[in-house]
Amino acid sequence: MKQFIINRILSSVIVIFGISIFSFLLIHLIPGDPVKIMVGINATSEQVEKLTHQMGLDRPLLVQYSHFISNLIQGDFGTSLKTGRPVLTEIVERFPETIKLASAGMLFAIIIGISMGVLAARYKDSLIDTFCMGIATLGVSIPSFWLGILLVMIFSVNLNWFPIAEGTGIRDVILPAVTLGVVGSTMISRLTRNGMVEVLSNDYVRTARAKGLDERLIVFRHAFRNVLIPVVTVIGLQIAGLLGGAVIIEQVFNWPGIGTLAIGAILSRDFPLIQGIVLFMGVVYVTINILVDILYSIIDPRVELSVKEES
């Protein structure tokens, strides 16, 4: 287990290094002079020169990157040009709200996805199976932003069941969480259904039924445990994906998270903040993948053994 974790961490360090390079180069890859874009077309040459020196853009590229990495190691992500506050402070203040929204969306996706998948597999080739998989197909086909607007129009504007961008309480998070979790639930339901159908046709399941075991015990204890590994893998990837997908959903529902912060930084041309958000979210994504790897190596030790055999 220890060697497995060490290998995952080392590979993740390489990925984070690549993310840091991409984040650093963001400001250099945009067309034109990034400083002139940030200060605006009416800025004087003195203002442009001052900001260029302040951001260290008048130094050689390798020196700039070394300074960039040195600051990151010390926890310095730079300073927001719009607010004058540390970038890390801006991100840390907004991140809990994104976590809250992503967690609620993931909870919805897991409950609905697994329930639909198990139900469809249990009643394979029936109307229930067709209905569940039809809903799954519809869910993955609808753009998230369109679904969010539709839910607001129906449940907030017409029915007045939920508030419209009034806060971050339980009632406020329901609609954005449903919107965010719909796509994830469809993937989980399809994977669960396909895995369950295959497992339920195995000999040991038929033997369990022949012994007269309760059907619920067969489905959840014997069958579902065997499809848990791929489901956990998808759920882990979905968690990281939901954090990124929250950018659009936060805009639709005016949710005060990382997504809203990122859009605001792009519109105000706050490149240090954009760089910080890209790097921060990249590290979060990699960390979640490490935790998922560790989790399903605990669930199924064969994962760890297969890695050892390959090495």
- Tens of pLDDT, residue by residue over 73-99, are 888 888 887 888 899 999 999 888 888
Query: 54 and 110 share a domain?
Result: no
Tokens 């805009």, residue located: 251
Structure tokens at 306: 């297969």
Query: 134 and 53 share a domain?
Result: no
Mean pLDDT, residues 51-62 taken together = 78
Mean per-residue pLDDT of the chain:
80
Whether residue 297 lies inside any domain: the answer is no
Mean pLDDT, residues 272-293 taken together = 84
Structure tokens at 3: 């060697």
Range of the domain at 33: 2-73
Query: 115 and 63 share a domain?
Result: no
- Residue 104: give its domain's CATH number: 1.10.3720.10
How many whole angstroms separate alpha carbon 256 and alpha carbon 163? 15
The mean-pLDDT minimum among 10-24, 69-83, 225-239 falls in 225-239
Residue 300 pLDDT > 70: no
pLDDT of residue 163: 76
How many whole angstroms separate alpha carbon 192 and alpha carbon 176? 24
Give bridge partners of residue 79 from the DSSP assignment: 86
**Using a CB cutoff of 8 Å and minimum separation of 24, what contacts does 293-298 make?**
293/4, 293/8, 294/4, 294/5, 294/8, 295/232, 295/236, 296/229, 296/232, 296/233, 296/236, 297/1, 297/4
Query: 151 and 9 share a domain?
Result: no
Query: 31 and 117 share a domain?
Result: no
User: Residue 125: CB partners within 8 Å, gap ≥ 6?
Assistant: none
pLDDT of residue 31: 65
Structure tokens at 142: 């609808």
Query: 226 and 111 share a domain?
Result: yes
User: Residue 252: CB partners within 8 Å, gap ≥ 6?
Assistant: 145, 148, 149, 152, 176, 179
Query: 179 and 235 share a domain?
Result: yes
- Tens of pLDDT, residue by residue over 112-156, are 988 898 888 888 888 988 998 888 888 878 888 888 888 888 888
DSSP string, 230-270: HHHHHHHHHHHHHHHHHHHHHHHHT--SHHHHHHHHHHTT-
Mean pLDDT, residues 223-239 taken together = 75
Whether residue 84 lies inside any domain: the answer is no
Q: Which amino acid is at 229?
A: I
Whether residue 136 lies inside any domain: the answer is yes
Whether residue 278 lies inside any domain: the answer is no
- Tens of pLDDT, residue by residue over 168-227, are 677 788 888 888 888 888 888 888 888 888 877 777 777 777 777 777 777 777 677 777
Residue 79 φ then ψ, to 5°: -125, 135
Ramachandran class of 120: left when φ > 0, alpha when ψ lies in -120 to 50, beta otherwise? alpha
- Tens of pLDDT, residue by residue over 286-299, are 888 788 777 766 66
Largest Cα–Cα distance of the chain, in whole Å? 86
How many independent structural domains does the chain possess?
Answer: 2
Whether residue 260 lies inside any domain: the answer is yes
pLDDT of residue 305: 47
- Tens of pLDDT, residue by residue over 22-52, are 888 877 777 666 677 667 667 777 777 887 7
